[in-house]
Copies of this chain bind each other. A is one copy, B any other.
Amino acid sequence: MTVRGPVIEAQFIETMVLLTINHQSLIATKANRIVRAAQNRAVMEFGSRRAQGYDGAVYGARAAYIAGCNGTACTLADRAFGVPALGTMAHSWVQMFPSELEAFRAYARTYPDQCTLLVDTYNVLKSGVPNAIKVFREEVVPRGFRPKGIRIDSGDITYLSREARRMLDEAGFEDCRIVASNALDEYIIRDLLIQGAQVDLFGVGERLITSRSEPVFGGVYKLSAIEEEGRIIPKIKLSENVGKITNPGFKQVWRLYDRNSHKALADLITLFDEEIDENKPLEIFDPEYTWKRKTLTDFYARRLLVPIFEKGRCVYESPRLEAIRDYCRAQMGTLWDAILRFENPHKYYVDLSQNLWDVKADLLKEYSVY
């Protein structure tokens, strides 16, 4: 993102801009990892009660939906943004009745068309699933519906879901879906599926809504140039920590795609008015290990920065939520699997153009007193 304006105004929005982009990028990234681990099975966002504040829950649910979740148990995110609200029964429903069987019956009579029963209040295989099958037969099928599903929220999901699947199938409910929840994330979901868990939908709570494996998204907002008498003067901030050295100047960001596979090859940061000639080979290089170089051919380039505000006026039409979600899915499709790997992923390159690097090198020399 580039913000160009009077310094006081640009400074005023710093914290809110960073907080918004950092938070929602964080949750979208985590949610997308979980959605990918689930391999075409639906993922529902269930984390509101463990979110870091009200906005954490509501905007987090929106980000999770954009990243590929099917919906959320946060009904406020439905009201505010149209994120589909989803959910199943609660343990308290089961506990309120004298017995699990009576609780299931009352629920099935109320929602025969949407009957998903929570089967782990007492004992999944000895009580929950048998009672669910009984109620599906006695209350759902006679009303002309098929049972929707059962949900398992504790215990060993692999074992319980496989046994439950077998019991449901034997009862003729092959179409009854199994929902699993309980401190899930991309790693646990991956392992459950490798072990043959029979889960059709995942409800994912605390580890998604807080991005537990890495709850910090480290975006920064740095002064990179000032304008004096119409002239842009690039500025730098140095650091012993190489990653904290800023890229000076007024810049553009490009994504370079392979012309055949349409996969993203790298991002390239250039000076704002640079052009990229797609018909010539382009040499790119690592901005830290500058001796690591690569020449691209058969590529095309797309500018990633689009104007949002111009002279204080919003000139951008915000896409609908579904369009943002589609864009996310399409963009994820342009990344190589190696980059999407959960552990030790291949690095996605974000390089600097030679022109930008020259500006940076000059400033490094000018300000450096190493």
Contact = CB atoms under 8 A, between A and B. Distances in A.
Interface of A: 7, 11, 14-16, 18-19, 22-23, 26-27, 48-60, 74, 90-92, 94-96, 120-123, 126-127, 154-156, 182, 206-207, 210-212, 215-219, 221-223, 226, 235-241, 244, 367-370
A221 to B, nearest CB: 7
Contact of A92 (B54, B57, B223): B223
Contacts of A211: 215
Given A55-B56, A154-B239, A22 B49 contact: yes
B60 A53 contact: yes
A28 to B, nearest CB: 13
A336 to B, nearest CB: 29
Question: A57, A95, A207, A226 — which one has the most chain B CB atoms within 10 A of its CB?
Answer: A95
Contacts of A215: 52, 210-212, 215
Contacts of A92: 7, 11, 222-223
A50 B19 contact: yes
Given A238-B121, A369-B123, A53 B49 contact: no
22 contacts: A14-B49, A15-B57, A18-B49, A19-B48, A23-B52, A50-B218, A52-B215, A53-B55, A53-B58, A53-B59, A53-B60, A54-B55, A55-B55, A55-B56, A91-B237, A92-B223, A95-B223, A96-B226, A123-B369, A123-B370, A154-B244, A206-B216
Contacts of A51: 19, 23, 52-53
